[in-house]
């Protein structure tokens, strides 16, 4: 039996912090009530919020240059589920896990589903991988996958995606995220239009295999590994392809997949307006696809994204349900600590956006009062909602201070004993 944090330990640690939290919470309740906001309603909203974990995020990531493995890293998908379970146990905001195949392939889907259920987890969208060659596959993706000129390579990539749908279906997932690294490194290497035509042909075959209640998420990315021209480089291409494919195809926005300074919140607004915003991969970046912890570099951008999501939810109601996932790589931190902190930062941005005085905002917009409109957003962004987030966790059975509790539990030390280092292992599970 692998080590788990004892709920009694959580209760004891919370008991020490509870009085301070209660007083912070009451102080914030007073501030918010003067603004006409009900703290209890906000706490309920925070408790209902969820963001899915990337299975590949619980191992130490690595860069193109090196990977410095951590202690007690997960050895397989079952260990990953244990770590995701711990993150959810303490934060109560991450009930979904997003798997990546073939990294997370298992022959025993029932056992995996059972393991997840024991932690109160379910499976969110599954991810295919045709940006690497898997051991033993017949054809290489060196020159592309869904867009490859060789029809046998394309057929293999399509078959892998259909296999992912079947694996996900057995696990209770409801979506497939497709990100491909296809493109060109040199001008002239590829016929730009031809590549997209082949992509659409491949995606039509994948789309046809989707169960009735599934969505396919098209994830765009500006560059890397194709450094001259990436086939699905931007939201325009993603939107056009999702439109061509049909209503079960939506666009997925990974915050790290744009040129620096791109107005991502405007992309969010556009996709939401036209009913094609499928979901997110949250992370943060300074330069490119840095995969840093959410909210660690530009929390204001994250807030502005959620401000657009709030607007879309107000307009479209229950019909607007984008999938929220983290997609990060952890190189210098304990992945569990990074994922807990990031999930809470995403939840924080959601709550700050809920605090926007929308009446005041539209009043200032109507009067062309740019300064006061900006100040209205800033007032919400500057509000420290930490006490609400902590109270939401406490009431849902989580930790008032997840990182402090995790460290006090010595979870990682237990895992170091349980999971001895294996030479050559990588975070994704591919050796
Ligand atoms: C690509 O950069 C990406 O963001 C896609 O979501 C992949 O599936 C993921 O990273 C994992 O490597
Ligand atoms: Mn991503
Ligand atoms: Mn990425």
Is 373:309 a contact under the CB 8 Å cutoff?
no
Please check the confidence at residue 392 and state whether its pLDDT lies above 90.
yes
Q: Tokens representing 122?
A: 């379910």
Residue minimizing CA distance to atom 3 of ligand 1: 179
Give residue for tokens 């979904």: 96
Residue 47 CA, ligand 2 centroid: distance in Å: 25
Q: Which residues contact 316 (CB under 8 A, 6 or more apart)?
A: 272
Residue 427 CA, ligand 3 centroid: distance in Å: 15
Q: Tokens representing 139?
A: 């054809």
- Residue ranges with CB less than 5 Å from ion ligand 3: 289
pLDDT tens, position by position, 217-267: 999 999 999 999 999 999 999 999 999 999 999 999 999 999 999 999 999
Report the pocket of ligand 1 as residue ranges, CB < 6 Å. 56, 127, 179, 219, 221, 254, 281, 289, 327
Exposure string (b/e) for 116-129, b if CB count within 10 Å is 16 or more?
Answer: beebebbbbbbbbb
Residue 233 CA, ligand 1 centroid: distance in Å: 13
pLDDT tens, position by position, 145-188: 999 999 999 999 999 999 999 999 999 999 999 999 999 999 99
Between 336 and 64, where is the model more confident? Answer: 336
- DSSP percent split of the chain into helix, strand, coil, nearest 5: 50, 10, 40
Q: Which residues contact 271 (CB under 8 A, 6 or more apart)?
A: 235, 239, 251, 253, 277
Residue minimizing CA distance to atom 6 of ligand 1: 179
Portion of the chain with pLDDT greater than 70, in percent: 98
- The full set of domain ranges for the chain reads 50-356
Q: What is the mean pLDDT of the chain?
A: 96
Interface pTM, i.e. ipTM = 0.99
How many angstroms separate the CA atoms of 398 and 14, rounded?
9
Q: Which ligand 1 atom is nearest residue 100's CA? A: 8
CATH of 50-356, one of 3.30.930.10, 3.40.220.10, 3.20.20.150, 3.30.360.10: 3.20.20.150
- Residue ranges with CB less than 5 Å from ion ligand 2: 254, 281, 327
Exposure string (b/e) for 310-335, b if CB count within 10 Å is 16 or more?
Answer: bbbbeeeeeeeebbbbbbbbbbebbb
Q: In what order do the strands lie in the sheet with 122-123?
A: 53-54, 96-98, 122-123
How many angstroms separate the CA atoms of 56 and 85, rounded?
14
Portion of the chain with pLDDT greater than 90, in percent: 96
How many angstroms separate the CA atoms of 194 and 147, rounded?
8
Which of 63, 218, 281, when mutated, tests ligand 1's pocket best, judged by the most ligand atoms within 8 Å of its CB? 281
Specify the pLDDT at position 430.
39
Residue 290: how many CA atoms within 13 Å on its side-chain side? Answer: 15
């Amino acid at each position: 039996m692998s080590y788990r944090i004892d709920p009694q330990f959580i209760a004891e640690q919370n008991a020490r912090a509870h009085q301070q939290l209660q007083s912070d919470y009451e102080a914030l309740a007073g501030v918010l009530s003067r603004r006409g906001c009900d703290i209890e309603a906000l706490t309920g909203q925070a408790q209902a919020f969820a963001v899915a974990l990337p299975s590949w995020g619980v191992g130490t990531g690595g860069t193109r240059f090196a990977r410095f493995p951590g202690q007690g890293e997960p050895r397989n998908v079952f260990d990953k589920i244990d770590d995701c379970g711990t993150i959810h146990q303490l934060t109560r905001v991450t009930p979904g896990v997003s798997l990546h195949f073939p990294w997370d392939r298992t022959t025993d889907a029932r056992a995996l589903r059972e393991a997840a259920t024991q932690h109160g987890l379910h499976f969110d969208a599954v991810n295919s991988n045709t940006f690497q060659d898997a051991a033993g596959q017949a054809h290489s993706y060196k020159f592309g996958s869904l867009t490859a000129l060789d029809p046998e390579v394309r057929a293999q990539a399509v078959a892998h995606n259909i296999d992912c749908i079947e694996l996900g279906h057995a696990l209770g997932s409801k979506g497939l995220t497709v990100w491909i690294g296809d493109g060109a490194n040199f001008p002239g290497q590829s016929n730009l239009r031809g590549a997209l035509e082949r992509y659409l042909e491949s995606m039509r075959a994948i789309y046809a295999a989707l169960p009735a209640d599934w969505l396919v998420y098209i994830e765009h990315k500006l560059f890397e590994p194709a450094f001259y021209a990436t086939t699905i480089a931007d939201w325009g291409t993603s939107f056009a392809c999702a439109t061509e494919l049909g209503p079960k195809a939506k666009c997925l926005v990974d915050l790290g997949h744009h040129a620096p300074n791109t107005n991502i919140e405007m992309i969010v607004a556009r996709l939401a307006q036209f009913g094609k915003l499928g979901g997110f991969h949250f992370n943060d970046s300074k330069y490119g696809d840095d995969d840093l912890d959410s909210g660690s570099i530009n929390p204001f951008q994250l807030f502005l994204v959620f401000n657009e999501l709030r607007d879309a939810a107000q307009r479209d109601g229950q019909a607007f349900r984008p999938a929220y996932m983290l997609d990060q790589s952890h190189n210098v931190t304990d992945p569990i600590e990074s994922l807990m902190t990031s999930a809470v930062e995403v939840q924080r941005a959601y709550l700050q956006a809920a605090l926007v005085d929308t009446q005041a905002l539209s009043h200032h917009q109507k009067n062309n009062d740019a300064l006061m409109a900006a100040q209205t957003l800033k007032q919400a962004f500057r509000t420290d909602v930490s006490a609400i987030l902590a109270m939401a966790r406490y009431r849902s059975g989580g930790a008032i201070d997840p990182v402090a509790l995790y460290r006090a539990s010595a979870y990682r030390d237990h895992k170091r004993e349980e999971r001895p280092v294996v030479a050559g292992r990588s975070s994704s599970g591919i050796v």
